[in-house]
Amino acid sequence: MSSGLKKAAFAAGCFWGVEKVFAKIHGVTDTSVGYAGGQTESPDYREVCTGRTGHAEAVEVVYDPAKVSYEELLITFWEWHDPTTPDQQGPDVGTQYRSVIFYYDDEQKKQAVRSKQLLESGHLFSRPIVTEIVPAGPFYMAEEYHQDYLKKNPGGYCSHFLRSPKIRQVLAGKTNS
């Protein structure tokens, strides 16, 4: 990784849609879809889909903190999925579709926890937020045909859409506090 760049990782349902959202952010230099948070080493897509590996479909984001803050990445994460549905996003159901923030350092953990607390206290959701906040462990790249899937297949399936502008209002400028 080039000097000064940082990593972040998120799981928020089908990784195709999550990658598409993060790839559009100014300051994000690279995105990769893959599998994180499980116990099986080097799983493949079919194994992850069984739910027995413990992995979530995730996106690893490489970003330039001089151009985009981790706070902005968190806001985007919360805006583009439903963090109240355990093991589900839209029609996609299974543990691999759970909501997770994988943190790489104490500062990311602090900001992630703070963002979740702000959303909970803001009462924007009618159900409890179930998003996990856990240390980033190994990230296993998904098969090549999954990388940039929606860029290669513009009409492909995606269940991600902007949920509420109120999320940004609650979080903007407050996750670092």
Catalogue the active-site residues.
14
CA angle at 157 for the pair 148 and 162, rounded to the nearest 5°: 90
CB 118 within 8 A of CB 170: yes
Closest CA to 72 of 115, 30, 105: 115
